[in-house]
Amino acid sequence: MALAWLAISSLFYYGWSSTIFLVIFIFSFVVNACCVRALGIFDGRNRRWALMAIGIAFNLLMIGYFKYKDFFISSWSGGPGPEFALYKAALPIGISFYTFQQIAYIVDAYRRVVTGHSFIKHLLFISFFPQLIAGPIVHHKEMMPQFERTAARRRLLDLALGISIFSVGLFKKTVIADGVSAWADPAFAQAASGGILNFADAWIGALAYSFQLYFDFSAYSDMALGLGRMFGIVLPLNFNSPYKAASIIEFWHRWHITLSRFLRDYLYFPLGGNRRGKTRRYVNVMAVMILGGLWHGAAWSFVLWGALHGLFLMINHGWRALLAMFGLSAVAHNPVYRVTAIAVTFVSVVSAWVPFRATDLASAASILKSMYALHGGPVIPSLWQKLIALRNGIAGYFDILNVAINHRTSPVSRFENDVSYDMALAVLFYCAVIVFFLPNTYELFRQYRPALTEGDIPRSGGGAFRLSPAWAAALAAVLLASVLQLPRVSPFLYFQF
C-alpha cells in the first residue's frame, strides 16, 4: 500500500506543472510496461530481439519527436522554411532521464535480468519523484531491493539525514549557484549579441558559468539524495567533486556518474568497447561522447561539447598508453604531477563548457578566441593588476551583495574601476576554495551512507557530520538562508536537458 501511495504521489508531483506532460509520461510507461511483460512471456531469440528493438525504437521516437525533431529539420533544410516548418513542441520535463531508465529496463528484460517485478514497483521505479526530473538515472538492481524491503527501518534517522542533505543542496542552489550566475550571464549575452570580449572578461564569464553549473547540478543531486532518504530510499551517487579530477577519464567517473554508467553499459559496451582494437575503441569513445552531448540538448553546440570531451578522452587514453610504454605510470602518484594534471583537466573542462552554455557556435568560438588571446587584443598577464586595463566592459554585472541579499537586477553600465573586478575575483576565489578544498556532501555525511556507490569510492567512515545539537543549529541556519532566497530562485539548469 505504501508503494502504491508513493507512486501515485510521484505522478501527482510530476503532473502538477502540466497535465499534458503527465499524459505523455503515463503513455510512455504503459507501452514500456507492456513490452517488458511480453519479454517475460515470449520465448525464442528472434521474437524477443524484435520486441526489444520495438521497445527501444518507441523510446527513441518519443524523445526524438519532442526533443530533436526541430533540430533535425533545421539541420536538414539549413534552417526553417515554408516547406520545413518547425513545430516547437514543448519538451516534457525529465523525458531525457526517464527514457534512458526505460531503455535500460527493456534491455535487461531481454537479457532476463529483470524478473518478477510488479506493476506498482515498476511504476515507482520509473516515477519516483526525487530523481524523476533531473536524475540520477537509477538502475532497477539498485531500487527494486529497496522497494521490496520488509524489515523495519529507523525512519527518524532517515528523516533527519534526508532533511540535512536536502538543506545543504538547497543552499548550494539558492545562494551559491544563483549568486554566481550574475557574473556568467552577461559575458555570454555580450558574445551572443556580437560583442567581442577581452581576455579577462571571457575567463571571468567562463569560470563563473563553470562554477554556476557545478553548484547547480551538485545542489540538485544533493536534494534528490535528501528527498529519497526521507522516504527510506538511498539513491546512487551522481556527483563527486568532479573538478578535483586529475584526468578527463576521472572527471567522467565523478560528473553525472549515472549517465556515464548508462552510456558505458548500454552504448559503449554494445558497440564493442575496447575489445576490438585501439582504433575501434577511439571510434566508440567519440561516438558515445557525441551522443552524450546530443542527449544534453538539441543543438550543434552540444554536439561540439560532446566531441571535445571525446577528443579529450582519446588524448587521455593515448597519454596513459605513452606513460605505460616508457614505464612511467607511477608518475601519476607524484603530488606535483597530480596538481598539474588537475589544473590542466580543469582548464579543459572550463573551455568545453563554453559551447555547452553559448547560444550558438559563433558566440562560443568568439569567447574561446578571447580566452586564448586569438582576437589580437591585450592579455592581462597578472591578477595582481586587478584587470583594470580592460577595454570592453560588460553590461550587467551586479553588486555581489545585492545579488546575495536582494537579487536586484539593475545592471551597471561598465567596469569603471577595479572594485567590480575585485568582487568578481572574490566570488570566483571563494567558489574555488569550496570546490577544491572543502568536503563534498557525500564526504560530509559519509559515515551515514548517504548514497549508493560503486568502484573505488569510499563507502563509510570519516564524515564530519554528526547528529548533534550543534549540527542541527548550523543546518537550520543554512536552511533559513536558503528559504529566504526561494522567491527569487531560478530553475535548475538540468531541467533544460
Per the omega criterion (within 30 degrees of 0), is the bond before 439 cis?
A: no
Question: Whole-angstrom Cα distance, residue 6 to residue 14?
Answer: 12
Degrees to nearest 5, angle at CA 239 with 469 and 315:
150
The values of phi and psi at residue 374, to 5°, are: -100, 0
**Closest to 286 in 3D by CA, of 300, 267, 266:** 267
Degrees to nearest 5, angle at CA 311 with 310 and 316:
95
Specify whether the CB–CB gap between 94 and 14 falls below 8 A.
Answer: yes
The reply to whether 296 belongs to the active site is yes
**Closest to 130 in 3D by CA, of 10, 22, 25, 7:** 10
Report CA torsion sign: 189, 174, 136, 246.
positive
The cell numbers describing 433, all together, are: 576554495
What is the chain's alpha carbon radius of gyration, rounded to the nearest angstrom? 24
Q: Report H helices in 297-334.
A: 300-325
Question: Whole-angstrom Cα distance, residue 202 to residue 424?
Answer: 12
Give the chain's length.
Answer: 497
Report CA torsion sign: 403, 405, 406, 407.
positive
> Which residues lie below 8 Å from residue 279, measured CB to CB, with a gap of 6+?
none
Q: Per the residue annotation, which of 139, 296, 309, 317 is the catalytic one? A: 296
Q: 308 to each of 212, 303, 305, 353, 497, how far by Cα in Å? A: 20, 9, 5, 10, 19
Question: Whole-angstrom Cα distance, residue 299 to residue 356?
Answer: 9
Q: Kindly write down the DSSP assignment for every residue of 192-205, as one continuous string.
A: HTT----HHHHHHH
**Closest to 4 in 3D by CA, of 102, 105, 114, 122:** 122
Question: Whole-angstrom Cα distance, residue 72 to residue 270?
Answer: 25
The values of phi and psi at residue 81, to 5°, are: -140, 180
Q: Report H helices in 133-198.
A: 140-147, 155-171, 178-192
- Which residues are part of the catalytic machinery? 296
